[in-house]
Each structure stands twice: as C-alpha cells, then as structure tokens.
Amino acid sequence: RRRVPGEISTPAAGVAELLIRIAGDLHRQEAGPLGLRFARLATFLAPESSEAWLLTADLLNEGEEHEAALIALAQVDAADPFHYSAQAARVHLLATAGKAEAALAEAEAAVRANPTVTTYATLGDVYTDLERLSDAAEAYAGALAVLKQSEAVQPEWTLHLLRGGALEQAGRWPEAK
C-alpha cells in the first residue's frame, strides 16, 4: 500500500510526462535546444521525475554543458528505481568531461556499495577509458560473476565480448581467446 515511484498521480505529473515524450521525440529528430526546453519544463512540473532529470542531463551533456548535466543527475533520489541509471550516467559523464579520476572513484564506490552487473560494467568502462585494461577485464569478470549468481535474464555475450576485448588489448591473448 505504498506509493509507486514514478507514478503519474497529479495533473502536473501528467503534463510533465507529456513534455518528456515531446522532448524525447524532438531529441530524436535533432531539434537542438528545443527538446531541452521541454525536458526542463517537465522537471519544473514534476521535480520528482527521474525520467525528466535523466533526459535533461542527457540533453545538457550533448550540448557540452557537463556541470549542469551533473547537477541534473544529482536530482534523482537515492530511493528512486532509476538511481543506479543516474549513477552510471554520472560516471560516464565525468569520464567524458575529462574527470577520469573522479569517475573512477565514483565507479569503485558504486561497486562497493552495490555490486551489480551494471556497477561492475560501468567500472569496466571507466578502466577501459583509462587504458587500465587488465583492471577492466577483472571488472567485467565481476559483472559476469554477479550475473551468473542472479536470476536476471540478460545475455552474457556482451560482457564476455567486453572482457575479451580488454584482455586482448592488455596483451593477454590466451585468456582473451
């Protein structure tokens, strides 16, 4: 009998959902800053909407407004089901904004706090960006181990491919093969 996160329970939340859809469509049509305006309006109408904040951050990032995108991602509550998506987006944003060490610190902290396939894979991506390929391979191996222990229905091949690529680039061909 608890409220469902992300529910559309007010007129403002309904209009915000419409604006998010419009912003996403404009984004796919490469309409420039217009999509960002609609996404930002959605955040004013429904500040608890993680979807609005994630889209806003994505559009800000594409506009090279990295600091504003980081602020948008910080609006997603830790109890929200999309919190881990926002956390992964934050790590990738830090890495692309040239803040690799900060991205690495956050990715490592995320794995320690919640060792999931996503957090391990994100850590592997950061290690790959830093050209720490053996570490990347180990992170992807961690993601595979978590996946095998879970009941999630997710294909393993992408993680095997990422791990194999990191091992090959690290000069560890027998393991990569």
pLDDT of residue 6: 65
For residue 60, the model assigns a pLDDT of 92
Extract the tokens encoding 106: 């956050």
What is the C-alpha separation between 30 and 7, in angstroms, rounded? 29
Per the CB < 8 A criterion, the answer to whether 162 and 140 are in contact is yes
Task: Work out the number of other CB atoms within 10 angstroms of the CB of residue 92.
Answer: 17
Structure confidence at residue 5 (pLDDT): 64
Rounded Cα gap, residues 128 and 86, in angstroms: 20
Looking at residue 136, what is its pLDDT? 95
What single string gives the DSSP state of each residue in 24-78?
HHHHHTT-THHHHHHHHHHHHH-TT-HHHHHHHHHHHHHTT-HHHHHHHHTTS-T
| Tens digit of each residue's pLDDT, the chain (177 residues) | 777 666 788 888 889 888 988 998 888 887 678 899 999 999 999 999 999 999 999 999 888 898 999 999 999 998 888 888 899 999 989 988 888 899 999 999 999 998 989 899 999 999 998 899 999 999 999 999 999 888 777 788 889 899 999 999 999 999 988
Predicted model pTM: 0.73
pLDDT for 47 equals 92
Nearest partner of 110 among 92, 87, 94, judged by Cα: 87
